[in-house]
């Protein structure tokens, strides 16, 4: 029986503990030719049977930054994969041109191009996961770099063993020293990237200059200490995720693919730490990640919110915009002018007949109870006026915006329908959907204002009282 190397046993334990690979998974392995990725490929191949991996394939990306050295890297990876009988899928892009076009650092440009290739490969090859060779040293470097860039507490959780985008990091617990021992024991060669010695790159400066200094004067095991800090941060993030999910419905007034509207009053009424986390969550939901968003951006949003200055807008990283409109904070992917959103006083309940003003939306509601007549039909043919069966209303009434998952029973349909599908069928422009008010009682949407009544509140021959609602101009 072949003896399993201690390093491989630890990798296997890490894979099981973090549930990174399931039986019959098809795994892609990103291999640059450097020591970390070579060790990653070798150990996953050796654990293939133990993990029940159905298929392993290699990905290699050429950044076109090092001329002949890049070609030699590709040749090395092709030969390495051939020794294991594995397929190789390659990609390349002119990273330097991307760096100039998008005016970002060369390191960020390389990451963007590389990850675009990874995402395409995952989809095209229908793989379950893509394994990356990030190590404990990479994690420690990332923690320090995030700290220097002003990341908030959530950023201190560092890289995760698994991401929602199907990226896994089987070596995230292992130090570079352990990896070099593993390579030596198996007589595995690897490529050295000369650019990793260029101290003009921040990560290289942290690796080759700062870490030795910290190890000498502060802690000899600084990498392990920072990784432990990241694990503690990850536990904190798990708690915060549950807490944010509980607060989100009260803070988010409307959510659409290109815009999220938040209640300023609800945000300001919460602890500053929770307020910042909710703002981060809103950005993450809008752009699907927090890339380029740091603590300074969140503080800027908090100051905008606290200013209480309607119509004021700011631009955030990644092309995001924020606008304060009355007591609402609008986050959008497009520059925003003043938006027709309902002011926070829509939380005012409508307990019965009367006149109700909604200041920023210019919508007045007149509620009157009148006896039903035998010839009353399901509609009252007066523009801006609707008739409801007062007996079907669960008082009080209130107005709100569309939220994900909203359903109602459009009049005449005979069943329920997602509000999003109703908007699509009614050809309501995407940008306007989040601004359409919904008249609700305590159980249901009664009226999609200006569009359709709910079938459950229609006037029928059995109606005893009619509730007349008139849409009036703002006075």
Please write the tens of the pLDDT for every residue from 81-138: 999 999 999 999 998 998 888 777 788 888 889 999 999 999 999 999 999 999 999 9
- What confidence score (pLDDT) does residue 76 get? 95
The answer to whether 213 and 39 are in contact (CB under 8 A) is no
Report pLDDT digits (tens) over 219-245: 899 999 999 998 998 888 888 889 999
Residue 51 to residue 170: CA distance in whole angstroms? 12
Which of the four pLDDT bands, split at 50, 70 and 90, describes residue 342?
Answer: very low
Percent of the chain surpassing pLDDT 70: 89
> How far is C-alpha 30 from the chain's CA centre?
24
Range name among 10-14, 147-151, 180-184, 364-368 with the lowest pLDDT average: 364-368
- Pairwise pLDDT comparison (366 vs 418), residue with the higher score: 418
Range name among 138-142, 179-183, 385-389, 399-403 with the lowest pLDDT average: 399-403
The residues facing 471 across adjacent strands are 365
Which of the four pLDDT bands, split at 50, 70 and 90, describes residue 369?
Answer: low
Q: Where in the chain is the domain with CATH 3.40.50.620?
A: 6-134+169-218
The answer to whether 132 and 167 are in contact (CB under 8 A) is yes
Q: Where in the chain is the domain with CATH 3.50.40.10?
A: 346-472
The kind and range of the H/E element at 62 are strand 55-62
- What confidence score (pLDDT) does residue 417 get? 93
Class assignment of domain 238-332?
Answer: alpha beta
Whether residue 396 has a cis bond before it, omega within 30° of 0: yes
- What confidence score (pLDDT) does residue 396 get? 83
The residues facing 400 across adjacent strands are 438
Q: Which two tokens stand for residue 260?
A: 């999220």
- What confidence score (pLDDT) does residue 360 get? 46
- What confidence score (pLDDT) does residue 1 get? 43
Tell me how many helices (H) and strands (E) the chain has: 16, 20
How open is the CA angle 150-193-198, to the nearest 5 degrees?
Answer: 50
Which of the four pLDDT bands, split at 50, 70 and 90, describes residue 367?
Answer: low
pTM over 0.75, yes/no: no
- What confidence score (pLDDT) does residue 238 get? 86
- What confidence score (pLDDT) does residue 375 get? 47
- Pairwise pLDDT comparison (412 vs 78), residue with the higher score: 78
Q: Where in the chain is the domain with CATH 3.30.465.60?
A: 238-332
- What confidence score (pLDDT) does residue 157 get? 86
- What confidence score (pLDDT) does residue 54 get? 95
Which of the four pLDDT bands, split at 50, 70 and 90, describes residue 376?
Answer: very low
- What confidence score (pLDDT) does residue 398 get? 79
**Burial grade of 69 (CB within 10 A; 0-12, 13-18, 19 or more):** middle
Report pLDDT digits (tens) over 417-456: 999 889 988 888 776 777 788 888 888 999 998 889 999 9
3-state SS, 131-177, equals ECCCCHHHHHHHHHHHHHCCCCHHHHHCCCCECCCCEECCCCCCCHH
Which of the four pLDDT bands, split at 50, 70 and 90, describes residue 464?
Answer: confident
- What confidence score (pLDDT) does residue 384 get? 63
Tell me the fold of 6-134+169-218.
Answer: Rossmann fold (3.40.50)
- What confidence score (pLDDT) does residue 364 get? 60
Residue 442 to residue 396: CA distance in whole angstroms? 7
> How far is C-alpha 127 from the chain's CA centre?
22
The residues facing 408 across adjacent strands are 417
- Pairwise pLDDT comparison (150 vs 18), residue with the higher score: 18
Residue 408, φ and ψ in degrees, nearest 5: -150, 180
Q: Work out the mean pLDDT of the chain and round it to a whole number.
A: 84
- What confidence score (pLDDT) does residue 378 get? 44
Residue 107 to residue 245: CA distance in whole angstroms? 34
Range name among 5-19, 123-137, 361-375 with the lowest pLDDT average: 361-375
Which of the four pLDDT bands, split at 50, 70 and 90, describes residue 197?
Answer: confident
Percent of the chain surpassing pLDDT 90: 43
- Pairwise pLDDT comparison (308 vs 372), residue with the higher score: 308
Tell me the fold of 346-472.
Answer: Phenylalanyl-tRNA Synthetase; Chain B, domain 3 (3.50.40)
């Amino acid at each position: 029986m072949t003896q399993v190397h201690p390093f491989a046993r630890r990798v296997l334990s890490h894979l099981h503990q973090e549930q990174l690979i399931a039986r019959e998974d098809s795994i892609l392995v990103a291999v640059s030719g450097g020591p970390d990725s070579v060790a990653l490929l070798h150990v996953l191949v050796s654990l293939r049977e133990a993990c029940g991996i159905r298929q392993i394939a290699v990905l290699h990306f050429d950044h076109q930054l090092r001329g002949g050295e890049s070609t030699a890297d590709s040749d090395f990876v092709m030969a390495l994969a051939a020794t294991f009988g594995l397929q190789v899928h390659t990609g390349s892009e002119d990273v330097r041109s991307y760096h100039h076009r998008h005016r970002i650092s060369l390191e960020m440009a390389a990451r963007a191009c590389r990850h675009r290739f990874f995402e395409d490969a995952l989809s095209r090859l229908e793989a379950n996961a893509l394994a990356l060779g990030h190590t404990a040293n990479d994690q420690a470097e990332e923690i320090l770099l995030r700290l220097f860039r002003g990341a908030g507490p959530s950023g201190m959780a560092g890289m995760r063993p698994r991401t929602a985008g199907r990226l896994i990091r089987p070596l995230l617990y292992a130090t570079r020293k352990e990896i070099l021992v593993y390579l030596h024991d198996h007589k595995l060669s690897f490529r050295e990237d000369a650019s990793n010695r260029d101290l003009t790159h921040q990560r290289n400066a942290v690796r080759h200059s700062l870490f030795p200094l910290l190890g000498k004067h502060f802690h000899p095991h600084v990498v392990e200490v920072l990784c432990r800090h990241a694990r503690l941060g990850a536990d904190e993030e798990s708690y915060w995720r549950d807490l944010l999910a509980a607060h989100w419905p009260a803070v988010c007034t409307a959510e659409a693919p290109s815009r999220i509207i938040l209640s300023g009053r609800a945000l300001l009424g919460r602890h500053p730490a929770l307020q910042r986390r909710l703002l981060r969550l809103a950005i993450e939901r809008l752009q699907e990640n927090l890339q380029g968003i740091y603590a300074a951006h969140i503080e800027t949003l908090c100051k905008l919110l606290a200013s209480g200055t309607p119509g004021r807008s700011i631009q955030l990283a990644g092309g995001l915009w924020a606008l304060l409109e009355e007591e609402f904070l609008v986050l959008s992917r497009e520059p925003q002018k003043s938006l027709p959103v309902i002011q926070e006083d829509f939380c005012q309940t409508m307990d019965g007949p009367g006149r109700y003003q909604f200041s920023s939306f210019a919508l007045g509601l007149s509620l009157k109870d009148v006896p039903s007549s035998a010839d009353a039909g399901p509609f009252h043919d007066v523009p801006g006026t609707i008739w409801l069966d007062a007996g079907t209303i669960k008082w009080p009434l209130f107005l709100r915006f569309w939220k994900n998952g909203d359903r109602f029973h459009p009049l005449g349909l005979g069943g329920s329908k997602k509000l999003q599908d109703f908007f699509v069928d009614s050809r309501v422009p995407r940008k306007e959907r989040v601004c359409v008010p919904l008249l609700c009682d305590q159980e249901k949407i009664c009226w999609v204002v200006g569009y359709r009544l709910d079938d459950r509140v229609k006037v029928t021959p059995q109606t005893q009282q009619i509730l007349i609602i008139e849409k009036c101009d703002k006075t």
